[in-house]
Structure 1
């Protein structure tokens, strides 16, 4: 598959041939969904907690006689049905993460890249570098490329001026190639890859 390469100013900079095994697959939404679900579950804090019956402060003295009151035979004020009592079956601190095979994670990334390529939502740029850390100048360059909601993936190391200028632009994220993930790609309308990022991805999935 051949994709056009652009400069940050919006000009043409030739073309690049990318692997069909990464960018030319027929997208499978089930794989993409599994990886997104795995990512979101893994990052969930799981720190929600309610006080259970044994953790509530209160007396355990029997407060009503066993027979003759006409009511139930209660023996503890900390029972869930009473005001201030413990929560029955409330949430506890736990890890929400679940296992997902590495092959499925790799396939999910390939299929989401193919999905972006199929809908013409991938822009290849020559590099992601800025002469100075000026948000206004970078925003003007993005407008020339037609980028409003984008994820920019660069090589192993980010250009400091570019990342500083981009972090104040709404709906624009910048990541090194080792941080590429399915969820962030799905969130962005447009995926912007540098030539070095494409080379690193093809080397990674070789």
Structure 2
């Protein structure tokens, strides 16, 4: 599979070879659902917590006698029926992460890339070695491509990162961090030639 190789000015500089085992696989949307759900579950921060009866500060003494008071029997003032008492079956600190097979995760990444390629939303860049220090300069490069949001994958320098971080529709990511959720969350995926080699070693 052949694809145009361009620079950030959208000038054609050659031909890039795309592996059909990565960019032309069967599109199973159920796999994408499973992978995105797994990613979002890992991102959840389960720090919600309420105080149970053992977490409430207070005496452990019985508030009054068991019998002969005419009142309901009570064993602790920290019980949930009292003001300031504990919460029964409240949320506790936990992790929402769960495991997903590596084959499914790899297949999901292939499907996401294939989906973008079939919709002509994959751009292959020669490199990211440009002298950009201002956000306005980065905007001029991005305007050469007619998409609403961009995920740029490759080895970039700090100057490029600083120039792009104020653009909410442009995200930079290293090849090792490429994932299904970010691919689907951006209209255009820009891959450098180095990122293509990394993907072949990672997915094949």
TM-score (norm. length: structure 2):
0.90
Query: Secondary structure in 2 aligned to 1:15?
Result: strand
State the 1:24 CA deviation: 0.5
For the pair 1:30 / 2:43, whether they are aligned, the reply is no
Runs (4+) of structure 1 moved beyond 4 Å? 67-71
C-alpha contact 2:132 2:138 (8 A) present in aligned 1: no
C-alpha contact 2:42 2:98 (8 A) present in aligned 1: yes
* Separation of aligned partners in 2, 1:147 and 1:170: 13
Query: Secondary structure in 2 aligned to 1:113?
Result: helix
State the 1:72 CA deviation: 3.3
State the 1:40 CA deviation: 2.0
State the 1:68 CA deviation: 6.0
C-alpha contact 1:148 1:172 (8 A) present in aligned 2: no
1:35-72 C-alpha deviation (Å, 9 max, x unpaired): 22222222322222211011101233333554566653
What is the match of residue 106 of structure 2? Answer: 106
What is the match of residue 125 of structure 1? Answer: 125
* Separation of aligned partners in 1, 2:108 and 2:67: 65
Query: Which range moves more in the overlay, 172-181 or 4-13?
Result: 4-13
Query: Secondary structure in 2 aligned to 1:26?
Result: coil
RMSD: 1.9
1:85-133 C-alpha deviation (Å, 9 max, x unpaired): 1111111122221111111111111111111112222122222222131
What is the match of residue 192 of structure 1? Answer: 190
1:181 to 164, 179, 182: 179
What is the match of residue 62 of structure 2? Answer: 62
Query: Which range moves more in the overlay, 105-114 or 157-166?
Result: 157-166
What is the match of residue 166 of structure 1? Answer: 164
Unaligned runs of 5+ in 2: none
Unaligned runs of 5+ in 1: none
Say how many residue pairs are matched: 204
C-alpha contact 2:125 2:191 (8 A) present in aligned 1: yes
TM-score (norm. length: structure 1):
0.89
